[in-house]
Every structure is written in structure tokens, then in C-alpha cells.
């Protein structure tokens, strides 16, 4: 993997760790909502993610925030966000950090 792309992926994860689910006080990365991050050779970013519930009333705002903040990273050209519900999100997708923050460990 190209070092520049690797560094960009690290920056994307840092940004995603600063975006919080509106209903759960944990960032979307540790919550397990980010399924995949791909950066191509042209520094276009494709993110596959889900929501804790398909009928989340704040979905549009959350998705817009992800796109806006990732686009704001130096070097990122375009951002494509794929919202998926398969596999469905579950608590088992949460990181240890998230489980600790929520007192579930």
C-alpha cells in the first residue's frame, strides 16, 4: 500500500473518531458503524457504514457530517458514502473502548 494512502486512511479514522452518534455518547468508529474505508490511487474515498437503527431520525445529519468532515481532510478528492444495513448493526460490533465508555464491560 502506498504510504500516502495509508496516511490518509489514518487521518480518516481520526476524523471518524470525532463524530458521535446523536443518541449514544460514543463515536461512530468505536460504535462499529463504519464497516469499510477504501482509498483509491486518486485519493477518492469510499466509506461503507450503517446506523444503529434504519429509522434513525438523525441519519441525514450524521451522514452529511461524515461526508463533510472526511472531505475536509487534506488530500481527499471525493467522498462516496454507502449506507448499508446488511449486516445489521449489533452491540457485538462495538469496540472494547465503546463498551467501556457505556459501562458494558
Helices (H) and strands (E) in the chain, counts: 3, 3
Per-residue model confidence as pLDDT tens digits over 4-18: 899 999 999 999 999
Residue 1 and residue 103: Cα distance in Å, rounded? Answer: 37
Confidence of residue 1 (pLDDT cuts 50, 70, 90): low
pTM of the model: 0.93
Cβ contacts of residue 98 below 8 Å, gap of 6+?
Answer: 26, 27, 30, 31, 32
Any domain includes 105: no
Any domain includes 46: yes
Q: Which domain holds residue 45?
A: 3-98
Any domain includes 103: no
Any domain includes 77: yes
Total of domains in the chain:
1
Any domain includes 71: yes
Q: What is the CATH number of the domain that holds 71?
A: 3.30.300.130
Per-residue model confidence as pLDDT tens digits over 27-67: 999 999 999 999 999 999 999 999 998 888 889 999 999 99
66: nearest Cα among 55, 54, 51? 51
Any domain includes 19: yes
Amino acid at each position: 500500500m502506498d504510504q500516502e494512502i495509508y496516511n490518509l486512511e489514518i487521518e480518516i479514522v481520526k476524523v471518524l473518531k470525532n463524530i458521535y452518534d446523536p443518541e449514544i455518547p460514543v463515536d461512530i468508529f468505536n460504535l462499529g458503524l463504519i464497516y469499510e474505508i477504501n482509498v483509491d490511487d486518486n485519493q477518492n474515498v469510499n466509506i461503507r457504514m450503517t446506523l444503529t437503527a434504519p429509522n434513525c431520525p438523525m441519519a441525514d445529519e450524521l451522514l452529511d457530517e461524515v461526508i463533510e468532515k472526511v472531505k475536509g481532510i487534506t488530500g481527499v478528492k471525493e467522498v462516496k458514502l454507502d449506507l448499508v444495513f446488511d449486516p445489521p448493526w449489533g452491540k457485538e460490533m462495538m469496540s472494547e473502548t465503546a463498551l467501556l465508555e457505556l459501562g458494558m464491560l
